[in-house]
Chain A
Amino acid sequence: MKTETPNERRRFLLSIARGIGLSAMGALVWSAYVGEVKAAPLVLRPPGALDEAEFIKNCIKCGLCVEACPYDTLILARPGDNLPMGTPYFTPRSVPCYMCTDIPCVPVCPSGALNELSVTSYVKNKAVLDINKAHMGLAVVDENSCIATWGIQCDACYRACPLLGEAITIEHSKNDRTGKHAFLKPVVHPDQCTGCGLCEHACVTEIAAIHILPRALAMGKVGDHYIKGWDKEDEKRLEGASIEVTKTKISEKSALDSLNDEGGL
């Protein structure tokens, strides 16, 4: 009996250790794969989607948004698409988002990954769905391949835009090459652009000269260091601005003390 007990205990501890060892190995492979697919930033989500990191946390991959979409815009990422598997996305060059006013894809989301509040407006204190508030992505123009910037007349994207004259406007400038014509260049306004992709879908060049990028990729951020002093609205950002004081070895003490310090000499 006395010799039995330690062996029992050793066997038990060893089986636990083996489990942990195998788990660690599995975890290594598994997390490497998950890390890879998670890091696919070039993906456009349905209207009202949370930020990408939150979105893939919340999405349960049920496809109810896909079934609700009347234009078959949304598809669920299939194995082999190299995107987070089972999550909904769209490719505007093939099928753009037609911006249904009742946004059927959003209210059906059971997990809250598509946030109804982010596409809701208040009209006379009544909540109504408002697709114009969607920010699925941002249209970006590649001026090198946009024929309008060559001086050829084309306003396909401008005409296709559901927020005509708001999300895309046409900028006139003189064409010095001919001396008598004008450039009519499309300019995208990020505040209005919903990223629906109708412009990309309509673009006449072989590969669209205007294309939708995820906003996180297409946009920069000024931060609190620069503020438009001439703009009353922008000046309000000062109120929320954070003060950041950089401390280095020299600036630890006051300037005078620092200059008089002979410790390092």
Chain B
Amino acid sequence: MKNYRYLLLRRLTQISLLVLYVGANIWGWKVLQGNLSSSSVLGVVPLSDPYAVMQLAVTGASLGMDILLGALIVALFYGVIGGRAFCSWVCPINMITDTAAWLRRVLKFSEVQKRFYMSRSLRYWILGLSLILSALMGVAVFELISPISMAHRGLIFGMGMGGGALAVIFLFDLLVHENGWCGYICPLGATHSLIGKFSLIRVWHDAPKCTDCRSCITVCPEKEVLHMINRSSESVIMGECTNCGRCVDVCQEDALRFSIRSFTKQPKDEE
């Protein structure tokens, strides 16, 4: 059970949030209304997707007070506390891409398949491009194609042909590139990487305990962030870390745990 603690907690969070949103539309619950683009908590507190609001802003939209405040609340929460936790604890696509990544490991695709080159920074280019296009076209361009909003809206308000987009992401991650969507393409994830860059909650690596089994690196969807494994004791500070806690789950030696961001760095002594 200990090996699945954070995984189960995350699934619980993701599913409960979905149930609350769906309940709001079907049964009129007032706890969490709207969707991930913009919601209203208990009909009072606004929450908005900072990336969507950024796109609206560059189109020259007049921007309602509620979405500005909502985006600020969300950005402050992830910026100060959660880091990029949105991606692994809230986003519904995470369940799809996690399943694809898990299947890839079970079916040993990565061992057979030759990797084709994609840059991890592709997502930042897409992020920049989406803002330029939004400004030029006068409409939030990523919001019109976003599979995240599509999936979330689909589950709450009816899917339409949106299932196709989800299938494409699943198959892309399964057959084309490991963690392709979340780790390379998604500009919303890129936004959250930037917002959460300086957040307080971080995974701490205790290098002396590490036996270099590399299970953490196998399960990590953003392998670059674990560059210190078995090298030095330090916090995982790269903004791309989604705080999913899967590495903490799989580590049998307790060499990884959640803690508050630390600025110290202690190289592992090689004796």
Contacts and interface: CB of A to CB of B under 8 A. Distances in A.
Interface of A: 19, 22-23, 26-27, 30-31, 33-35, 37-38, 53-54, 56-58, 60-64, 66-67, 75-76, 78-81, 84-86, 108-113
Contacts of B157: 63, 66, 75-76, 78
A111 B64 CA distance: 4
B1 interface: no
Given A63-B34, A112-B63, A112-B64, A79 B141 contact: no
Contacts of A111: 38, 56, 61, 63-64, 66-67
A102 B92 CA distance: 34
B38 A84 contact: no
Interface stretch (B45-53, B107-115, B239-247): B45-53
Contact of B150 (A26, A79, A81, A84): A79
B62 A30 contact: no
B91 to A, nearest CB: 16
Nearest to A19: B125
Contacts of A113: 64
Point out which of A31, A81, A85 has the most chain B C-beta atoms below 10 A from its C-beta. Answer: A85
Name the prevailing secondary structure of the B interface residues.
helix
Nearest to B150: A79
Interface string B30-66: 0001110111100000101100110010011111101
Contacts of A53: 138
Contact of A67 (B34, B49, B139): B34
B138 A86 contact: no
A38 B143 CA distance: 12
B208 interface: no
B258 to A, nearest CB: 31
A110 B64 contact: yes
Contacts, number: 149
Contacts of B221: none
B9 interface: no
Given A57-B138, A67-B33, A112-B61, 18 more contacts: A19-B125, A26-B126, A27-B132, A38-B139, A56-B138, A61-B153, A63-B153, A66-B25, A67-B28, A78-B153, A78-B154, A78-B157, A79-B159, A80-B160, A84-B144, A86-B143, A111-B61, A111-B64
B160 A84 contact: no
Contacts of B53: 60
Interface of B: 24-25, 28, 33-35, 37-40, 46, 48-49, 52-53, 56, 59-64, 66-67, 70, 125-126, 128-129, 132-133, 136-141, 143-145, 149-150, 153-154, 156-162, 164-165
Nearest to B139: A56
Contacts of A38: 137-139
A39 B53 CA distance: 22
A63 B159 contact: no
Nearest to B62: A112
Nearest to B158: A78
Contacts of B37: 60-62, 86
A78 B133 contact: no
Closest 9 CB pairs of A and B: A78-B160, A80-B161, A110-B66, A62-B38, A112-B64, A62-B34, A79-B161, A79-B162, A58-B61
A26 B156 CA distance: 30
7 contacts: A38-B137, A58-B63, A60-B140, A75-B157, A79-B164, A85-B150, A110-B46
Point out which of A38, A63, A78, A109 has the most chain B C-beta atoms below 10 A from its C-beta. Answer: A63
A60 to B, nearest CB: 5
Contact of B144 (A34, A54, A78, A81): A34
Contacts of A66: 25, 157
Contacts of B25: 63, 66-67
B35 A62 contact: yes
Nearest to B59: A57
A79 B63 CA distance: 25
A30 B56 contact: no
A192 to B, nearest CB: 28
A58 B112 CA distance: 47
Nearest to B165: A79
A109 B33 CA distance: 12
